[in-house]
Amino acid sequence: MNTNTLFNAFLRLLLNIIFIFKFFMKRSQYTIFYTDDDQDDQDFFKEVIAEITPQHEIFTQNDGYELLKVLQNPPPSPHIVFLDLNMPKKSGYQVLKEIREMDAAKTIPVVIFSTSSDDSAIKKTKELGANMYITKPSSYTEFKKVLNSVLSLNWEKNLPSDNEFVLTIN
């Protein structure tokens, strides 16, 4: 075997490895919608997601009306929605209720991402059909751990159980 033959075989092998890597990386890519009226929270969320897994696409909405509009007019369609509760115009509760009434969006996982840790808020969002409830962490490290945990779940096959509805990081 001469040098050219070995080089060509190596090149083909390398190209195959790159193709397989790209194929599997695309399969683990999520399209994420994050709805929050606080621009600083949106920027922080995007920064943390980009650090955890840069291949995810993140689309932000400033209020519930924007979220409902994009859900009714895809593409893009999200794999998961993170939703703040306390927003002007339309609360996260109202938006969650409407999402669960939409044929095209009712099966999309919705994670409530709120500053409130009130038991009645948690109970109400669960009754309205949220898949998980997270109280916004106060530190960058906790924020990153929470989002990493949520994004490591296989949302297509295994939704969190009742015991896993409220995510807390210790």
Structural domains of the chain, with CATH: 29-167 (3.40.50.2300)
Calculate the CA 27 to chain-centre distance.
15
Q: Tens of pLDDT along 12-38?
A: 544 445 544 443 444 358 899 999 999
* H-run or E-run covering 29: none
Q: Which residue has the tokens 């009712």?
A: 106
The C-alpha atoms of residue 21 and residue 48 are separated, in whole angstroms, by: 23
Which residues, listed in sequence order, are joined to residue 17 by a DSSP beta bridge?
none
User: Contact, 41 vs 82, CB < 8 A?
Assistant: no
Contact 132, 150 (CB under 8 A): yes
pLDDT digits (tens, 9 = 90+) for 126-160: 999 999 999 988 888 998 999 998 888 887 777 77
* Helical pair 92-101 and 119-128, crossing angle rounded to 10 deg: 20
Would you say residue 125 has pLDDT above 90?
yes
Contact 54, 25 (CB under 8 A): no
pLDDT category at 75 given cuts 50, 70, 90 is confident
